[in-house]
């Protein structure tokens, strides 16, 4: 069984009485341990697809199974619990909390889940070392470079050991060399921690460095 089975997913938005069809029949399997890139024109629906895949937004029609569980049939509380345990997000902007240090930001999701404080901080420290920021634990986001802040955001997304990591243009605000560094890190995390990942990017060169490449076009997900 694939980790994720997406079947005939449709998603539309309604705005001022007009319907905007974004996803029109997306079907896809994502296997455990895969590293997938997703490209597509601006407005094609990449973020919309990632929101549905991350269960932040329900589709109009279609199904999403994780490990055989039909997630949109869970109760709201059940879905929130499932999402917290299973999915990590990295967005284009890092959304770090400015008043907290890098270490505290990374530990935060674990602290919110009432993981023991010492254990959460130890795990956060290990992850920050993993992303090359062992010497920046006490820096607040305003005291980090853009690439460093994005690496902190990646560490934070990993602290609860998600089965699936979703990254929406994690290198969009970075210069090309720093962006390549983040992609390199994503490949290492995928390889070393075995975390399944879907990475949206506008950068075709970086997209092609991923083992599996998808394109979102005309409401469908195709092989790139
Ligand atoms: N909340 C919303 N209400 C109405 N329309 C929306 C909403 N969110 C997105 N859209 C529309 O849906 C389409 C897909 O948006 P989406 O953000 O998924 O595109 P994208 O592929 O991520 O683009 P980009 O590369 O620019 O980030 C766009 O045409 C957008 O205008
Ligand atoms: Mg987007």
For 132-190, what is each residue's pLDDT tens digit?
A: 999 999 999 999 999 999 999 999 999 999 999 999 999 888 888 888 888 899 999 99
pLDDT at 189: 92
Give me the DSSP letters along 156-210.
Answer: HHHTT--SEEEEESTTTTS-HHHHHHHHHHHHHHHHHH--EEEEE-S-HHHHHTS
Q: What is the pLDDT of residue 206?
A: 86
Classify 29 as helix, strand or coil. Answer: strand
- Which pLDDT value is given to residue 219? 97
CB distance 123 to 155 below 8 Å = no
Q: What does the block give as tokens for 201?
A: 């990017």
Q: What is the mean pLDDT of the chain?
A: 95
Is the pLDDT at 110 greater than 90? The verdict is yes
In 3-state terms, what secondary structure has residue 60? coil
Which DSSP state fits 54? T
pLDDT at 92 over 90: no
Ligand 1 atom index nearest CA of 51: 18
**CB of 95 shorter than 6 A to ligand 1:** no
The verdict on the CB of residue 219 being under 6 Å from ligand 1 is: no
Q: What percent of the chain has pLDDT over 70?
A: 100
Our mutation pick for probing the ligand 1 site, out of 47, 221, 224, counting the most ligand atoms within 8 A of Cβ, is 47
Residue whose CA lies nearest to ligand 1 atom number 25 = 42
Taking every pair of Cα atoms in the chain, the longest distance, rounded to a whole number of angstroms, is 53
Written as six digits, the tokens of 52 are 């549905």
Residue nearest (by alpha carbon) to ligand 1 atom 17: 47
What gap in Å lies between CA 162 and CA 37, rounded to an integer? 18
Minimum CA distance residue for ligand 1 atom 30: 43
Can you tell me whether residue 37 is helix, strand or coil? Answer: strand
**Tens digits of residue pLDDT in 5-22:** 999 999 999 999 999 999
Provide the whole-model pTM: 0.94
Query: Which ligand minimizes its atom distance to the CA of 15?
Result: 1
| Mode of pairing for the β-strands spanning 164-168 and 87-90 | parallel
44 CB less than 6 Å from ligand 1?
yes
Domains and CATH numbers, the chain: 33-55+77-223 (3.40.50.300)
């Amino acid at each position: 069984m694939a980790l994720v089975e997406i079947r005939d997913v449709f998603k539309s938005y309604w705005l001022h009485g007009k319907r905007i069809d974004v996803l029109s029949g997306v079907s896809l399997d994502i296997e455990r341990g895969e590293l997938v890139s997703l490209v597509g024109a601006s407005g094609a629906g990449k973020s919309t697809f990632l929101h549905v895949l991350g269960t932040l937004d329900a589709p109009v029609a279609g199904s999403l199974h994780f490990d055989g569980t039909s997630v949109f049939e869970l109760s709201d509380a059940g879905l929130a619990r499932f999402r917290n345990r299973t999915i990590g997000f990295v967005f284009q902007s890092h959304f770090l909390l400015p008043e907290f240090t890098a270490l505290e930001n990374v530990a935060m999701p674990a602290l919110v889940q009432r993981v023991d404080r010492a254990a959460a901080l130890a795990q956060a420290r290990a992850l920050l070392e993993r992303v090359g920021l062992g010497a920046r634990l006490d820096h607040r986001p305003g005291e980090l470079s853009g690439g460093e802040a994005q690496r902190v955001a990646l560490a934070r997304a990993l602290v609860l050991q998600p089965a699936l990591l979703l990254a929406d243009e994690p290198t969009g605000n970075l210069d090309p060399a720093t962006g390549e560094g983040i992609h390199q890190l994503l490949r290492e995390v995928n390889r070393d921690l075995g975390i399944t990942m879907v990475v949206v990017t506008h950068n075709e060169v970086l997209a092609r460095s991923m083992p599996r490449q998808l394109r979102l076009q005309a409401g469908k997900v195709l092989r790139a």
